[in-house]
Amino acid sequence: MYLIINCPTCAKIIMANTANKTKTCPHCGAKVPIYGSKILARTEDVQEATAIIQHLKQRENKDSSTVTFKKFKA
Ligand SMILES: [Zn+2]
């Protein structure tokens, strides 16, 4: 399964495979503990995960004042 999480260090959206316990953030290089992070969405499908990330990033761009995740409609 894939989790969409926020990096606790840089707050960017990253995708993590639950086969691993940690994910290295591609943005800031932090080692992110997957289950200690804020989970924005989860899916079995890597393509869906990519689509969710794009959707969330578009939201971020619109809400330029904050990157806080509010709600996600699949
Ligand atoms: Zn990061």
Model pLDDT for residues 14-59, shown as the tens digit of each residue: 999 999 999 999 999 999 999 877 899 999 999 999 999 999 988 8
- Ligand 1 centre distance from Cα of residue 74 (Å): 24
- What residue type is assigned to position 6 of the chain? N
Q: For residues 36 and 46, what is the distance between their CA atoms, to the nearest angstrom?
A: 21
Q: For residues 28 and 45, what is the distance between their CA atoms, to the nearest angstrom?
A: 25
Model pLDDT for residues 4-26, shown as the tens digit of each residue: 999 999 999 999 999 999 999 99
Query: For the chain, which residues make up each domain, given as ranges?
Result: 2-62
Q: Does pTM surpass 0.95?
A: no
- Ligand 1 centre distance from Cα of residue 16 (Å): 12
- Ligand 1 centre distance from Cα of residue 25 (Å): 5
